[in-house]
Amino acid sequence: MTPTQNQTIIEVKTSPTPGSSYQVLVEDGLLTKAGSLIRQHPALQGSCVILSDDRVAPLYAQSLTNSLQNAGYAPKLITVPAGEKSKSMAILEEVCGQMVTAGLDRSSFLIALGGGVIGDLGGFAAAIYFRGIPLVQIPTTIVAQVDSSVGGKTGLNLPQGKNLVGSFHQPALVLADPLTLRSLPPREFTEGLAEMVKHAAIRDPAMLEQIPPAWTPNLAPIIARNIAIKAAIVTADEKETTGERALLNFGHTIGHAIENAAGYGKFLHGEAISLGLIVALQLSRQLAGLSAEDACAVQQTLQRLGLPLDLRPAPPPEALLASMRTDKKFSAGQIRFVLLRRLGDAFLSSSVTEPTLLEVLEQLRAD
């Protein structure tokens, strides 16, 4: 596909077939063109199902359905309850069952229309249905557009923890329509911006000043810029083996601990990440030579965007450490932390010890 005016196409290379790749298209109004774009893809010619949640479906499923029907498809809509609880084995079974009932076979494909929950659930369903059918991602949150729809990670939660089962299943096509972000509630919009700040800090410092605090027309360029950063990182390290992809965890070690220890729901993911970024910046100051000026630039951006900076409402340091010990990233008792030497220069460090971390957490709570 070649881009039309106002459209950006980001090519993401994948293995195992050399030269294989998928495209991420970014453009205002893409949803209404989805049918004809999907029709152009050779792997997307069979019957299809749209998976969405009960908040997104009433807003966008009809317009997507119309567009697909105009392109000769007869999509069935499967709707699950909105929220993280739908990333479960029980819901997965329900979705796969409905796909069988709808008559989907190995030549069919699944369209995930929604946020990261729908992308992860739909992606995993597509990965295992008939041993794998193609997936189209139509992400409708900032997190989903700039992060979860690209890179091929899919997964579900278990009662024991988040994202404990899953697989890599690369999408055949990703269609990001920034107009859909307009209906996000303000708190959900703001939390998504934390991932943009993360991308700016690790790869593109000039972007810090350009992140808008609320929905504005013409978000496509900044969405595309973020997708390009994620795409470059996942292309370099598709299956998280070289360490490159781990850089995307900047702010996430503490962020996840906060979400976990506070109980899911108290802090939205992006809010916890904002606090995680504050901690990672302070550790980078102490251990990696990050300048006060660089740390301040990130901090001021978080503040300007309305993301939280104050660690006092978060669980106490000991609770965060206890939660970190159960984290996947806490391998063999060693904390692997992403730190910054300078803005745009992130690296994976194993020099963060528990005492240093405790000290920094205490210090930030006292400030």
Which window, 26-34, 91-99, 112-120, 205-213, contacts ligand NAD (CB under 6 A)?
A: 112-120
Q: Which of 65/282 has CB closer to ligand NAD?
A: 65
Task: Verify whether residue 131 is a known catalytic residue.
Answer: yes
Nearest alpha-carbon partner for 22 in 144, 154, 136: 136
Phi-psi region of 144 (alpha: psi -120 to 50; beta: other; left: phi over 0): alpha
User: Does residue number 151 form part of the binding site for ligand NAD (CB under 6 A)?
Assistant: yes
User: Does residue number 194 form part of the binding site for ligand NAD (CB under 6 A)?
Assistant: no
Q: Which of 27/53 has CB closer to ligand NAD?
A: 53
> What whole-number distance in Å separates Cα of residue 205 and Cα of residue 199?
8
Task: Verify whether residue 11 is a known catalytic residue.
Answer: no
Q: Which one of 10, 78, 95, 117 is in contact with ligand NAD (CB under 6 A)?
A: 117
Q: Which one of 26, 31, 33, 153 is in contact with ligand NAD (CB under 6 A)?
A: 153
Task: Verify whether residue 41 is a known catalytic residue.
Answer: no
User: Does residue number 140 form part of the binding site for ligand NAD (CB under 6 A)?
Assistant: yes
The per-residue DSSP string of 149-188 comes to: TSS-EEEEEETTEEEEEEEE---SEEEE-GGGGGGS-HHH
* Phi, psi (rounded to 5 degrees) for 292: -60, -35
Q: Which of 11/54 has CB closer to ligand NAD?
A: 54
Minimum CB distance to ligand NAD, residue 86 (Å): 8
Which window, 66-74, 111-119, 213-221, 237-245, contacts ligand NAD (CB under 6 A)?
A: 111-119
Largest CA distance in the chain: 62
> What whole-number distance in Å separates Cα of residue 220 and Cα of residue 222?
6
Pairing of strands 161-168, 8-13: unpaired
What is the set of active-site residues?
Answer: 131, 153, 195, 230, 240, 245, 249, 252, 256, 269
